């Protein structure tokens, strides 16, 4: 929403964090791509939540109750952490694009791979017993 002079009303000026007011606005395509990546991380977290719910609901005859509950809780906690890290990554990438700096390394991807890999191995060992 713009005023007749082409400027935003004062009420809309302060909605961005300071880090996103630095530098210049990047090409909207890059900003939108960054948003899509953020949403992909959120979808991944939702998938991890679904896996935790499915494990707790349907693996009753395969995995012991204690291990099943622990794994489901770990997956739920990981999904929450993943969502927070996704927001932090979105913010860091947006700031890097605005200031002309190099994009940060996606270390959240390493965390995701390790967490899901360990969960898969633990579940496979539990099923094999």
- pLDDT score, position 11: 57
- pLDDT score, position 16: 72
Per-residue pLDDT of the chain (129 residues; tens, 9 = 90+): 445 555 555 655 556 777 677 888 899 999 999 999 999 999 999 999 999 999 999 888 888 889 899 999 999 999 999 999 999 999 999 999 999 999 999 888 898 899 889 988 988 888 887
- pLDDT score, position 107: 87
- pLDDT score, position 13: 56
Q: How far apart are CA 88 and CA 105, in angstroms?
A: 12
Q: Burial-class residue 106 by CB neighbours within 10 Å (0-12, 13-18, 19+).
A: middle
Helix 65-99 with 28-58: angle, nearest 10 deg: 180
- pLDDT score, position 47: 97
- pLDDT score, position 19: 67
């Amino acid at each position: 929403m713009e005023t007749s002079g082409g400027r935003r009303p004062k009420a809309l000026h302060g909605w961005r964090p300071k880090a996103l007011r630095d530098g210049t606005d990047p090409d909207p395509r890059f900003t939108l791509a960054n948003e899509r990546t953020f949403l992909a991380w959120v979808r991944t977290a939702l998938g991890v939540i679904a896996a935790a719910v499915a494990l707790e609901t349907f693996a009753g005859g395969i995995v012991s109750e204690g291990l099943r509950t622990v794994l489901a809780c770990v997956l739920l906690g990981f999904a929450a952490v993943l969502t927070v890290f996704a927001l932090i990554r979105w913010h860091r990438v947006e700031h890097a694009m605005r200031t002309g700096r190099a994009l940060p390394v996606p270390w959240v991807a390493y965390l995701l791979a390790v967490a899901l890999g360990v969960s898969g191995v633990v579940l496979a060992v539990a099923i094999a017993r």
